[in-house]
Amino acid sequence: MASIAQPSSGLGQTVRKSLPAYGFLSPWLIGLFCLTAGPVLASLYLSFTNFDLIQTPRWVGTANYERIFTNDPKFIAAMKVTFTYVLLSVPFKLAFALMLAMALNRGIQGLSIYRAIFYLPSLLGASVAIAVLWRQVFAGDGLLNAVLKWAFGYQGPSWISNPDYALYTLVSLSIWQFGSPMIIFLAGLRQIPQDMYEAASLDGAGPMRQMFKITLPLLTPVIFFNGVIQTIEAFKAFTPAFIVSEGTGGPVDSTMFYTLYLYLEGFAYLRMGYASALAWVLVVIIAFFTAFSFLSAKYWVHYDD
Amino acid sequence: MTTEISVAAPAAAPPSVFAGPPKGIKAILLHAILFVASLAMLYPLIWMFVSSLRPEEEIFSNPSIIPNHIDFSSYWRGWTGLRFSFGTFFWNSLVISVLSVIGNMMSCSLAAYAFTRLKFAGRDFWFALMLGTLMMPQHVVLIPQYVLFLNLGWVDTIAPLVVPKFLAVDAFFIFLMVQFFRGIPKELDEAAAMDGCGPWRIYWRIMLPLSMPVLATTAIFTFIWTWDEFFAPLVYLNDMGSYTVQLGLRAFVDSTGKSDWGALFAMSVVTLVPVLVLFVLFQRLLIEGIATTGMKR
């Protein structure tokens, strides 16, 4: 850029003018090369090797990937669990977030208090303490069963140690944290010009029509944004499954999240080549999903211009 | 006044929920629903807190959130329940979190300043690369980073958790600061440059003092995310003396199992306290941070 603006200046001057900027960028550049770019290439290489951290990596070609896709029941289990988790938790979470954002966006008194209360679980939810709490809420002698017994006289099972239910307790934990997408929805709702509603109601459009013809279409960019972010986050979920299953992904692999499987392969069994291959499969899945979302956005996301 | 409204209210305007705030019975109904929803959201948290104050044998049988009598013994049992006390874990977490805050504020603002205010060869290329790293899942660099830190002898120290922050690995905050810096009038640094200020002085004396809101947002989210971080400490810290509170709590789960829920709850509450305090103090900042930047949590 600089050399085009000043035709007389040579390469030397461009470099000299750029030097201060590279000084400012140097921490980030070191991080980029040593902690991001280098490791990305290294992990691609490792994914084609057997590597146990002690001996030097041994090249095995595509054997790791072949095993992942043809001969790894744990991988299938992890995919099933992870996709179930993503496909259940994200839509419900966004639906709750949107409903409450709409309820709060009506000029109600005490908005900031409700907003803070609904947001709190999002802020705390990632901690081990909340995973511990969830384990106790859904235990055989836990809070849920105590409430069920007190209200209906029904003795529930141990939800957390039952392979049919364990995953759904984690889905509920994710839905409980609908606060941050709700805040983003609220900000989006505020952007919708009030006079659109006034014009619509003068034309005789009722609340339902207003919602489907004004609110939802104008909110699609925010729905899209929240959907992408929450889905990527859901694919990467780790802590709750680790704590609830005591690091095993059990019972019977029913909480074997993808990241947990990756962690166990790499750091419990020291199969680091295989774990690298698993990481690349996850990257491709997330990239594929993101690309698909952006392509589909053309058909349903409403942009002003 | 009341008469005026009652005359104006039945006017022909079609009923619309968006025509101003709900009034009367509708408002009461809405508040009732929101109140019940709030209570349902907070109930598990409150129950955990109240249970931590109950004597051991009362916890399971009792879903109520009104304590009969308050008993702090669970806190004492929990605090000293492991080989190292939770005081050690708190100190470790505090050191890591504070250093991470300093690292992110420095390294990300330096990079953001270069991207927004300095002209240099390759700027667009590096900026695009920075945006690209935003989307990349950390799992793909996990194992080579581990090998690197192992060879540097950094495993079982706080370096793998802290040094990356000084190298602006949390590119999200660079992005956040770029957005903010773009809103600061360029005339200010042009005037300063006219007076002979170099880029460093402009960054330090003009940009940073004007960027307190975004620096505060960065600081508070970095602190909370680092405090809650579980995966990285799990990978890098094996010696109990270097555990963070999250690892300490997990070790406590493993050691007490299901035998002492009172102490486990007490320590869970304790590990949440710093985040709760920050939430109460900086609630507006947190919520605005989420609303304007779309942060994930």
B291/A contact by beta carbon, under 8 A: yes
Annotated domain spans of chain A: 2-46, 72-300
Decide if B178 is inside a domain. Answer: yes
* Contacts of B206 by beta carbon, 8 Å cutoff, 6+ apart: B188, B189, B192, B197
Better pLDDT: A244 or B6: A244
* Contacts of B35 by beta carbon, 8 Å cutoff, 6+ apart: none
| Together in a domain, B117 and B146 | yes
Cβ-defined contact of A35 to B145 (cutoff 8 Å) = yes
pTM over 0.80: yes
Q: Are A256 and A77 in contact (CB under 8 A)?
A: yes
Q: What is the CB neighbour count within 10 angstroms for residue B29?
A: 11
**Which whole number is the average pLDDT over A46-65?**
95
| Together in a domain, B133 and B225 | yes
Decide if B15 is inside a domain. Answer: no
Strand partners of residue A49: A59
For B80, the 3-state DSSP assignment is coil
| Together in a domain, B142 and B206 | yes
Which residues in chain B have Cβ-Cβ distances shorter than 8 Å to A272?
Answer: 143, 147
| Together in a domain, B67 and B90 | no
pLDDT in tens, B65-108: 777 778 888 899 899 989 999 999 999 999 999 999 999 999 99
| Together in a domain, B40 and B102 | no
| Together in a domain, B109 and B38 | no
| Together in a domain, B31 and B158 | no
Within A105-154, residue ranges assigned H as helices are 111-124, 128-137, 143-152
Last residue of a domain, one of B71, B102, B126: B71
Decide if B32 is inside a domain. Answer: yes
pLDDT in tens, B148-175: 999 999 999 999 999 999 999 999 999 9
| Together in a domain, B129 and B31 | no
CA distance A95 to B266: 33
CA distance A211 to A209: 5
Tokens read off for B133: 């790293």
**CATH number of the domain within which B126 lies:** 1.10.3720.10
Last residue of a domain, one of B71, B103, B133: B71
Which residues in chain B have Cβ-Cβ distances shorter than 8 Å to A198?
Answer: 18-19
> How many Å lie between the alpha carbon of B182 and the closest alpha carbon of chain A?
17
Domain over A72-300 is classified CATH 3.40.50.720: no
Strand partners of residue A50: A58
Decide if B18 is inside a domain. Answer: no
| Together in a domain, B142 and B177 | yes
Query: Which of A16, A112, A128, A282 to mutate against chain B (most B CBs within 10 Å)?
Result: A128
Q: What percentage of chain B's residues is helix, strand, coil (to nearest 5)?
A: 70, 0, 30
| Together in a domain, B53 and B116 | no
Decide if B14 is inside a domain. Answer: no
Q: Which of A20, A3, A4 is nearest to A12 (CA)?
A: A3
Cis status, amide bond into A251, omega within 30 of 0: yes
CA distance B55 to B77: 12
Q: What's the pLDDT band for A285 if we cut at 50, 70, 90? A: very high
**pLDDT in the model for residue A5:** 47
Decide if B168 is inside a domain. Answer: yes
| Together in a domain, B205 and B154 | yes
Decide if B120 is inside a domain. Answer: yes
Please give the tally of structural domains in chain B: 2
Nearest CB to A25 within list B21, B31, B111: B111
Cβ-defined contact of B168 to A31 (cutoff 8 Å) = yes
| Together in a domain, B164 and B227 | yes
**pLDDT in the model for residue A304:** 65
Domain of residue B248, residue span: 86-293
pLDDT in tens, A132-174: 999 999 998 889 998 998 889 898 999 999 999 999 999 999 9
Q: What's the pLDDT band for B261 if we cut at 50, 70, 90? A: confident
